[in-house]
Structure 1
């Protein structure tokens, strides 16, 4: 194909979703597993930079009075029964067995009393959890996604967010992965089909309108 990829996709998928009236910030799986060099999930700079960005957005969300939801992955023991086929396929999920240091929230992310923690066992923050009905009960119409990893749980949560009827916004700098290739490819695809991918600066400007 000789046509520029951006032009090709813009012709088919160039529409913007925009923002809703009542947003919520969802911070997906910022766990210590991605910051421990001895863990197979270690994500290095891509994950370090994403957390720094997400923490700035979190602060802006609180100033604006916008709900903040943190997700965590947790399995009761090393049998991983609640993880089903996901546990069988993805060997590094053992890092999320309850009580292991790698299952804890990343350094710098201490849950606040006014934040909700959603515990999950599968990639999407919505699958098998109360997240969708909770957001609906809050009157939320726009989910702002940050988190780890871009190609895994962020993408799965993005697709499910849209599928549950939420306008979905993904903040590129506030998502991270172990390699820039999957990170950029999945941001490109989410922006084309499921969500608007925006910069940290753009989302901070938007949140400031609620403050």
Structure 2
């Protein structure tokens, strides 16, 4: 029995409509390079590869892309993170703060440094998408249970249609990845795939 479904959670689909924009959340070396404590989780690397595939098509069709990384000047500049690796390494001058070259195009992407979980919190990403006439936000990046969930909820709260391609996001463990996607799909967003978003881009911009 699915009591959420019986109480109408997830009963209304959102769908992709109008112009889309893509956010790429925290695909920085801290999460993608296995030499770092948080780096190289298999689900994150799968998400990185599928996001790169999606972005190649998106850029070819002039889709707006906003990319972010998380970093601070010093520990005093940080929120009260409970993750030791964040406190130790997420600094502006640390090499792990660099965006992974697989997903970053410095000549195309709008890049922001964020201080909290959501790419939208105290950054210019929302005004950028409003200026671009975006109606639907595609959320990619890591980690699903943290910054992806926060960014998805903020996208919803800003009034955007919100879609999360399951294979473009990742987490340290599969359980939290699946649980959080299931939960946001009940309330705030559609869970889709890279192939479905690519098909929409090609159809809507042809």
Alignment of 1:81-100 (within 5 A): 81=77, 83-85=78-80, 87=81, 89-93=82-86, 94-100=88-94
4+ residue segments displaced more than 3 Å: 4-9
Displacement after TM superposition at 1:107 (Å): 4.4
Residue 192 of structure 1 corresponds to: 186
> Does structure 2 retain, via aligned residues, the 8 Å contact 1:28–1:125?
yes
Q: Is 1:55 the counterpart of 2:52 in the alignment? A: yes
Give per-residue Cα distances to partners, 1:82-123, cap 9 Å, x unaligned: x223x3x33221322112121111242333312100110100
Give per-residue Cα distances to partners, 1:41-61, cap 9 Å, x unaligned: 134211111000000110111
Residue 205 of structure 1 corresponds to: 199
Displacement after TM superposition at 1:64 (Å): 1.6
Moved more, 93-102 or 144-153: 93-102
Displacement after TM superposition at 1:37 (Å): 3.0
Residue 37 of structure 1 corresponds to: 34
Change (3 A) 1:59 1:180: same
Please point out which of 13, 25, 28 is paired with 2:10.
Answer: 13
> 2-side partners of 1:80 and 1:104: how far apart?
21
Q: Is 1:67 the counterpart of 2:60 in the alignment? A: no
Please point out which of 118, 125, 138 is paired with 1:124.
Answer: 118
* Corresponding residue SS for 1:178: coil
Q: Is 1:22 the counterpart of 2:19 in the alignment? A: yes
Provide the TM-score with structure 2 as the length reference: 0.92
> 1-side partners of 2:144 and 2:167: how far apart?
10
Q: Cα RMSD (Å) of the superposition?
A: 1.7
Q: Is 1:101 the counterpart of 2:98 in the alignment? A: no
Give per-residue Cα distances to partners, 1:157-202, cap 9 Å, x unaligned: 0000000111111110000001100001111111111111101211
Give per-residue Cα distances to partners, 1:2-60, cap 9 Å, x unaligned: x1468547x33221011121110111110111133343313421111100000011011
Moved more, 43-52 or 160-169: 43-52
